[in-house]
Chain A
Amino acid sequence: LKDRLAAAVKQSRADYTEIRVERTWSSAVAFRGRRLETATVSEDQGGFVRVLNRECGWGIASFTSLDELPAMVTRAHDLSRAVRVEEPIRLAETRPQTADAILELDGDVRGVSLGEKKKLLDRYNGAMLAVSDKIVDTQSSYRDEVSEVWFVNSDGTSLYQLRPEVVVSGTAIARRNGNIEKGLESIGLRKGWNSVQNFEDQFRVVAKRAVDLLEAPRVKGAAYPVILDNELAGVFIHEAFGHLSEADFVYENPQAREMMTLGRRFGKPVLNVGDNGAAKGLRGTLPYDDEGTPTQDTPLIKEGILVGRLHSRETAAKLGEQPTGNARAISFRHPPIVRMTNTYIAPGKQGVGFNDLISDLKLGVYACGAFGGQTMLENFSFTAGWGYMIRDGKVAELVKDVVLAGNLFQTLDRIDHIAGDFTWNQMGGGCGKGGQFPLPVTEGAPHVRIEEALIGGDV
C-alpha cells in the first residue's frame, strides 16, 4: 500500500502532496440498564489527500472508495488551484521520516471474541446496578479499535502506524422521585484487552456516589477558594489554557498573538505546564502526528511564564517556530489541525499533599471528577462530577452541581498551591474542535488550589 501511495504522490502535479489512508477494525458493546444495546464489529476505511500549490490554498479530498485515489489527487489539485491566496501558505521544514511505528497492543483486541467483551462489560454494568435499587438506569459501553494508518508525502516521509485503543465507560443514574443524579466512570487507554480488566470496584464507587448525591445539597453559587482533584485539574488545564496554546488560534490574528506573547507571565512560579505526545501508553500518545512530524514533550508554561505553543507545520512556518507534532485528525474524513495530545500540570514539591492545600482554609470547595469542560478562549466552564465543602481546614459535606466558571488570566494567576501527587487521567471521551470529535487526549495533574474561583449555582 505504501508503494501505491508513493506512486500516487509522485504522479501529483501539485507542489506539495500528502496522502493518508486508514483502516480501522473496531468492536463495540453497549448496555442500557440490564439490556444489551448492541454488540458489533465494524470496519471503516478511507483516504485523505491534501495538496498545496504556489500562490494557492489547500485542496482537500476525503473518500471511502480507495480505487478513486489517483482521481482524488487530481481533484485536490484542481481545488487548490481554485483557491487563490495573496499571502503564500508555507510549511515548516521537517526531516523526512520513514518508519513502521507499531504501538504495543497489550492483548490484541482482534483476537478476543465479542462474547468475552460482552461478559466483561456485563460485570462492570452489573456492579453498578447491584449497588442500590435507586440505580434506575445505566449506560455502559466497551469500545476497542486497532487503526492502521499509512502516511506518505512529497517531502519524502513514508510512515505506517498501528494505533490501538480501548475505552470502557459507565454512567450510573440514580433516582429518587423527581431527583436524578449520575455517576460516571471511564477508562481509556492506547492499549488493548489486558489493560481494562478488574475495574469492578471503580464502577461500584461511582454508582454509590450517584445514590449519595440524591441527598446532597446543591453548592451555593459564589466565589470560593477551590481545590481541584487530579482529574478535574487535568480537564481544567486542557480547557482553560491548552486550547489557547494551539497556535492556529494566534497565527493569523495579531491581537491574539499579542495576548499570547511568549515571555508573558500567566501564573505564579509554582505553575509548570506542557503537552507530551511522546509519553508512553496514554490515549493522546502517538509516535508521529498526522503530518508525519514526530511527537515530543513541549513545555508551554515554565515557572509561570509562557514559553511555548503547539504547532502544525503551517502555524510553525507562519510564526517562525518549530513544528511540535500536534497536527492531528480524528479520521481520514478530516484534515489535520492543531490539537493537544497529553497535556499536564507538572507536580509541585514532592511530599506536598491534599491536606497541605486545605489546612488553612476556613471555607472552600473541593471539586472532584469531571463531567466535561468547554472553552470560549478567554472564558471557560468545567463541570465537576461532585464536590465537598471544605470547612475549617477539613473536608465536610458532599455537594452537587459544582460548575466552575472561569476567566483564563485571572484563574491561572490565582493558582497558589500545587501538590506533588501527580497522576495521568486514564479517561475515555475526547476533545472536540472544528467539528472533529472525539479526539483521544489525556490530561495529567496533581491536586491544585485556586485562591478564588467562581462557582455557579443558586444564590
Chain B
Amino acid sequence: MIERVLDTARGKVDGADVLWRREEQTAVAFESGRLKAAGISEEAGINLRVLAGGRMGVAGTTAAKPDPKELVARARASAELGEIVELAFPSPNPQSPPPIPTFFDRTANASLDELIHMGRRLVERLARPDCQVNVAVEREVADTAVGNSAGARGEYRATGIAVTADITRIAGDDVLMVYDQYVGADMPSDADLEALVRSVETRLTAALKIVAPPDGALPVIFTPAGLAAVVLPLEQALSGKTVLQGSSPLAGKVGETLFDERLSIVDDPLTPGRPLSRPVDDECVASRSTGLVERGVVERFVYDLETAARAKTQSTGNGRRGVFGKPHIGYTNILFRGTDGARATGQIAVLGGGLIGDIDDGLIVDDLIGVGQGNVISGAFSHPVGLAYRVQRGEITGRVKDAAVAGNAYDLLKRIGGFGADGRWLGARFSPSLLLEGVSVARR
C-alpha cells in the first residue's frame, strides 16, 4: 500500500511520506464481577504527507480500498494552504534498526478463552463483600509500515496487552474507588497479576478508615499514579513544540540546573517489553533514547521532523501520527528516575514507597481529580484528592476526603525530599513515588 501511494505521489509532489497501520483488538469485560461482553475491532488506515511548492499538506483515510490518486489530490489541496517548511525526509538508514522486540507470540496467540480465564481469575482474587469489581482485558496486534520518497522504509509488528481492574466500594454516601493496571507488550506473568492484586488490596485496606485531612504547607508523597499532576507540566514544557511557540518555561534553559540534582528524565523507545517501544518512529526516524533532564540539568527537548526543521536541530525520533491529521510530537516511554536507581523497584505493594517514616504529618496522594484541566504548562496545579491517605508520626492513619492539594511543579521539583523504592510502569510512564515538601493542602 505504501509503495502504491508513494508511486502515485512521485512527480506530482516534491516529496512525501506515508504511514500505514492495521490494528486488531480483542477485548473482554467483566462488569460487577460478571463477564458481560467480548468484542473485536479491526481497523486499517493510511496517512499521507506531501511537500509541494515547499508547503506541507496531509490527508488520511480509513477506506477499505483507498484510491491513491484521490488521497494524493487531497494532500496536495491541503498543501496549497500550508506553510512553507524546510523539511527533509530521512534517507535510508545504512545501519540496521535497533533490535527491539515489539512482537510477542504469546500475546498475539492468546485465545479468547485465555483472556476470559485471566480476567475471571483476577475477579475471583479481588472479590469481597460490598465491593463491585470491574476487570477488562484488551489485547492488540498492530502492523505498522512507514516510508518516504527519500527511500527510507520501516516496518514492524507489535503486540500489547492491558489488564485493568477497579474496585468500587459504596458505604452510605461514601464512594471509594481503587484502580490499577498491567500494561505490556508481553503477557503478564503470574507475579505481575499478583502484584496488581496486592496493589489494589493494599490501597483498599488502608482506605477503609476515614480520617480528617490536615491543612497547611505539608510534606506530600505522590505515588507513581498520583504524580501525574506534577509531571504533566514537565512533559509539556520539554516538548520542542512549546519551546518553539515560546510558551515553555524551560525554553532557553538547556544546561541550567532547574531541578533536584538527583532527578533524571529519559524518553526511551527501546525499553524491552513496553507497548510503545518500536524500531522507528512514525516518520521513519530510527529510535533512540533521549535524555531530557540529567541530574537536574535540562538537557534536550523532544522533536519530530517538522519542529526539528524549524528549530534547526535533529528529530529525536518522537514523530507520531494517526490516520488523520499531521504528524506531531509524542513521547514514547518516559522514565523519571532518581540517581540511586538501584533500589528503584520491588516495593510496589508498600504504599508510599518506604518514604513515610520521617513524616510527622502529611499526605500520600494516589489520585487527583481534574489533572490536565488547568493552566498545565505554567506548572501551577490545584486539585481535589481522589484517593489520598494521611500520614501521622510515620504511619498511615487512614483515607482523607474533601481535601485539595496545590502547588507549582517546577518549584516543588527543585528539592525532592525522597525517591521511593516503588518505581513502576504506569501506562507509558515509569516513576517511583516522590516526596515533595511544602505542598499546600486545603480542607473544607
B440 at the interface (CB under 8 A from A): yes
Cβ-closest chain A residue relative to B23: A64
A3 at the interface (CB under 8 A from B): no
Chain A 437-459 interface 0/1 with B at a Cβ cutoff of 8 Å (1 = within): 00000000000000010111111
Q: What CA separation (Å) do A173 and B251 show in the bound complex? A: 15
A64 and B440 in contact, given A45-B63, A253-B32, A379-B401 (Cβ under 8 angstroms): no
A115 at the interface (CB under 8 A from B): yes
Contacts of A114 in B (CB 8 A): 77-78, 81
Chain A 357-387 interface 0/1 with B at a Cβ cutoff of 8 Å (1 = within): 0000000000000011111111111110000
B376 → A minimal CB distance (Å):
9
Contacts of B59 in A (CB 8 A): 40-42
B41 at the interface (CB under 8 A from A): yes
Q: What CA separation (Å) do A413 and B156 show in the bound complex? A: 56
A192 at the interface (CB under 8 A from B): no
Instruction: State whether B41 touches A454 (Cβ < 8 A).
Output: no
Chain B 384-438 interface residues, beta-carbon cutoff 8 Å to A:
384-386, 401-406
Contacts of B31 in A (CB 8 A): 252
A44 at the interface (CB under 8 A from B): yes
B34 at the interface (CB under 8 A from A): yes
Q: What CA separation (Å) do A450 and B39 show in the bound complex? A: 44
Instruction: State whether A64 touches B374 (Cβ < 8 A).
Output: no
Q: What CA separation (Å) do A41 and B60 show in the bound complex? A: 8
Chain B 319-362 interface 0/1 with A at a Cβ cutoff of 8 Å (1 = within): 00001111000000000000000000000000000000000000
A40 and B375 in contact, given A178-B249, A252-B31, A454-B444 (Cβ under 8 angstroms): no
Pick the interface stretch among A92-100, A147-155, A347-355, A404-412.
A404-412
B369 at the interface (CB under 8 A from A): yes
Contacts of B271 in A (CB 8 A): none
Q: What CA separation (Å) do A371 and B326 show in the bound complex? A: 26
Which of these, B39, B58, B74, B325, contacts A79 with CB under 8 Å? B39
Q: How large is the interface on B (under 10, 10 to 19, 20 to 34, 35 or more residues)?
A: 35 or more
Contacts of A268 in B (CB 8 A): none
Chain B 150-207 interface residues, beta-carbon cutoff 8 Å to A:
168-175, 177
A33 → B minimal CB distance (Å):
6
Q: What CA separation (Å) do A369 and B326 show in the bound complex? A: 31
Instruction: State whether A405 touches B173 (Cβ < 8 A).
Output: no
Task: Give the most central of A40, A57, A66, A75: most B CB within 10 Å.
Answer: A40
Instruction: State whether A181 touches B378 (Cβ < 8 A).
Output: yes
Pick the interface stretch among A7-15, A161-169, A215-223, A274-282.
A215-223
B210 → A minimal CB distance (Å):
12
Instruction: State whether B325 touches A38 (Cβ < 8 A).
Output: yes
Q: What CA separation (Å) do A40 and B58 show in the bound complex? A: 6
A383 and B130 in contact, given A66-B64, A137-B245, A458-B440 (Cβ under 8 angstroms): no
Instruction: State whether A40 touches B324 (Cβ < 8 A).
Output: yes
A89 → B minimal CB distance (Å):
8
B43 at the interface (CB under 8 A from A): yes
Which of these, A35, A333, A456, contacts B383 with CB under 8 Å? A456
B266 at the interface (CB under 8 A from A): no
Instruction: State whether A456 touches B405 (Cβ < 8 A).
Output: yes
Q: What CA separation (Å) do A366 and B131 show in the bound complex? A: 39
Q: What CA separation (Å) do A118 and B83 show in the bound complex? A: 12
A335 and B39 in contact, given A381-B383, A401-B375 (Cβ under 8 angstroms): yes
Pick the interface stretch among A80-88, A101-109, A418-426.
A80-88
Contacts of B57 in A (CB 8 A): 39-40
B100 at the interface (CB under 8 A from A): no
B231 → A minimal CB distance (Å):
17
A259 → B minimal CB distance (Å):
6
Q: What CA separation (Å) do A39 and B83 show in the bound complex? A: 10
Instruction: State whether A381 touches B370 (Cβ < 8 A).
Output: yes
Q: What CA separation (Å) do A64 and B402 show in the bound complex? A: 45
Q: How large is the interface on A (under 10, 10 to 19, 20 to 34, 35 or more residues)?
A: 35 or more
A182 at the interface (CB under 8 A from B): yes
Q: What CA separation (Å) do A136 and B401 show in the bound complex? A: 39
Chain A 40-60 interface 0/1 with B at a Cβ cutoff of 8 Å (1 = within): 111111100000000001111
Instruction: State whether B384 touches A456 (Cβ < 8 A).
Output: yes
Cβ-closest chain A residue relative to B233: A180
Contacts of A46 in B (CB 8 A): 43, 62
A428 → B minimal CB distance (Å):
15
A180 and B249 in contact, given A41-B78, A376-B177, A381-B383 (Cβ under 8 angstroms): yes
Cβ-closest chain A residue relative to B179: A376
Instruction: State whether A75 touches B373 (Cβ < 8 A).
Output: no
Cβ-closest chain A residue relative to B218: A459
Chain A 114-142 interface 0/1 with B at a Cβ cutoff of 8 Å (1 = within): 11001000000000000000001100000
A403 at the interface (CB under 8 A from B): yes
B377 at the interface (CB under 8 A from A): yes
A394 at the interface (CB under 8 A from B): no
Instruction: State whether A59 touches B37 (Cβ < 8 A).
Output: yes
B309 at the interface (CB under 8 A from A): no
B87 at the interface (CB under 8 A from A): no
Which of these, B39, B83, B441, contacts A62 with CB under 8 Å? B39
Instruction: State whether A377 touches B402 (Cβ < 8 A).
Output: no
Instruction: State whether A58 touches B440 (Cβ < 8 A).
Output: no
Contacts of A383 in B (CB 8 A): 370, 373-374
Which of these, A40, A253, A378, contacts B132 with CB under 8 Å? A253
Q: A39-B81, A256-B170 are in contact. List 9 more A-B contacts (CB 8 A).
A: A67-B64, A68-B42, A377-B175, A401-B375, A405-B369, A405-B404, A409-B173, A455-B404, A457-B404
User: What are 26 A-B pairs at a CB distance below 8 A?
Assistant: A37-B326, A38-B325, A40-B57, A40-B74, A44-B62, A45-B62, A46-B43, A60-B40, A65-B44, A79-B40, A83-B28, A89-B36, A252-B31, A256-B168, A335-B37, A371-B375, A374-B371, A376-B367, A376-B386, A381-B373, A401-B380, A403-B374, A405-B444, A455-B442, A456-B442, A459-B216
The 6 tightest CB contacts between A and B, nearest first, are A405-B384, A456-B404, A60-B39, A372-B373, A381-B370, A221-B442
